[in-house]
Chain A
Amino acid sequence: MSVPPTDAGAVRAPGASRGADPGPDPAVALDGLVRRRGERLVLRDVTLDVAAGTTLALLGPNGAGKSTLLRVLAGLLRPSRGGCRVLGHELPRDRRALGGRVAYLAHEPMLYRDLTVRQNLEHRARLLRVAPARVEALLEATGLERRAGFPVQALSRGLTQRAAAAATMLADPDLLLLDEPLANLDPTATARLRDLLAPTSPTAADPTRARTRIVAGHDPDAALAEADLVLGLRDGRVALLAPPSAITDVEIGELYR
């Protein structure tokens, strides 16, 4: 089912393709979410439920509000209006209660450029109350063992992205917010990070548990291939919300028109 844009831009997600009803406490529940930047409405009345374990692909042209939505869900931006519930906690009120359960891989790596990769990961691990062994496991998983002693500013964009992904996965989060996670990567690194950031991961404490993921990107084919549900944003409104099997090329074309 695809949902045409409405004035309100408000739709309720029908649930993931796994047949999951969002249930009484979905991983993400947005109700009429509005986010302003000055006079401009960046997100307009976004209503959405995402069941736990679902991968939601977030599509839309530049400036559609994808990154803003991810930052609101991460608790880094306050909603201007409307409800935002993440992993059972109301944002922004209960943001601190989420601890390290929500992780956000942003455009910017969120790493200190003059520290080494290892120093960055160790510092973050201490704040996340994560055992040092996890740092070593993630350095190995991202193929950064030999470059762990390099300052971040000495790394290429692709290697920096790998280091940022390692930092993102330190606390084995329940909700992963990924903003173009595979940008700037060569094929080998793409494969490594795809495994690391997958719904289930061998490096996770419970490798069978499916984590909830919201993945923003500009590659509709990749999004349709790996997502359970696709959300298309245009001018901050929900323009498309459907499982991949129900989405046509025309609808994708309309989204980016």
Chain B
Amino acid sequence: MSDRRSSDLRTLLLLEWRRERRVPQVLPTMLLFSIGAFVLFRFGLQDGRVEGPLAAGVLLVTTLLAALLGIGRLWAAEEEEGGLDAFRLTPASPTALVLAKALALWTFLLALHVVAVPAFLFLLAPHVDVAALPRLAAVLVLTDLGIAVVGTLVGAVAAVARSRELLVPLMAVPLLIPAVAIASEALAPLLERDAGSIEPRWWLVLALYDAVFVAVAWAVSDGIVED
């Protein structure tokens, strides 16, 4: 990546963080939703406990739905406040803008998990072995990357549409089903009472999913921002 593009990327990423710090929107929304969902599961399930594949499903589907809320807001200011037009009048790289949005969403999802995963473990899966937590975190880091990149692309496409709120889930969910399914397979053994190990192939498939969508984002970023 050229120096200019790196500099643009840094500038644009700082903008995303600064805006979220000044007027928190994405993180609190995702966080409240996630905690709320875990509390609902806690009282909705018969014994208030989940393990194995069910636990993985609850954690990942909640993450996916929370991410949809963040994706919906990711490009909103660019369209509603003219940020995208202002950006197009600069020599900055469209790839830097798309990557900055994806990195910002990735960091928001990671920050979400810093709070939401302990809440999940406390409310729904207190049996999970502490030794499994680093592997659980690693799977979530990879899953969040995939969600962030796909979400950024979908958010950009939906941003110019009138029915953005409808389009984001309609486009994002089908694209994210593979990521959730792969991550669920990877996480399920870690969330059993006697934590097992992750089959190596799930790491590989999850990394491949991320790599494909990072490449797609890189390839189409010019077209997304220009048109």
Which A residues lie at the B interface, using CB under 8 A? 74-76, 78, 92, 95-96, 99-100, 102-104, 106, 108-115, 119, 123-124, 126-129, 151, 167
Residues of B within 8 A of A95 (CB): 88, 226
CA distance A96 to B97 in the complex (A): 14
CA distance A110 to B78 in the complex (A): 9
Interface of A, secondary structure class, is: loop
CA distance A126 to B7 in the complex (A): 9
Q: Is the CB of A128 within 8 A of B19?
A: no
Q: Is the CB of B91 within 8 A of A113?
A: no
Measured CB to CB, the closest approach of chain B to A163, in angstroms, equals: 12
Instruction: Provide the B86-101 mask, 1 if CB < 8 A to any CB of A, else 0.
Output: 1111111000000000
Most buried by B among A74, A76, A106, A151: A76
CA distance A102 to B89 in the complex (A): 7
Number of A-B contacts (CB under 8 A): 67
Interface of B, secondary structure class, is: helix
Residues of A within 8 A of B92 (CB): 127
Q: Is the CB of B91 within 8 A of A99?
A: yes
Sample of 12 further A-B pairs with CB below 8 A, known A96-B91, A103-B89: A75-B88, A78-B227, A99-B91, A100-B91, A104-B85, A106-B82, A108-B81, A112-B19, A115-B19, A127-B90, A128-B90, A167-B86
CA distance A124 to B89 in the complex (A): 10
Q: Is the CB of B81 within 8 A of A113?
A: yes
User: Can you give 15 contacting A-B residue pairs, CB < 8 Å?
Assistant: A75-B89, A95-B88, A96-B91, A99-B90, A108-B82, A110-B81, A111-B82, A111-B86, A113-B81, A114-B23, A119-B18, A126-B11, A127-B87, A127-B91, A128-B90
CA distance A95 to B89 in the complex (A): 9
Q: Is the CB of A115 within 8 A of B86?
A: no
Measured CB to CB, the closest approach of chain A to B222, in angstroms, equals: 9
Residue of B19, B88, B90 near A76 (CB, 8 A) is: B88
B220 at the interface (CB under 8 A from A): no
Residues of A within 8 A of B15 (CB): 112, 123
CA distance A92 to B86 in the complex (A): 16
Residue of A76, A99, A100, A114 near B85 (CB, 8 A) is: A76
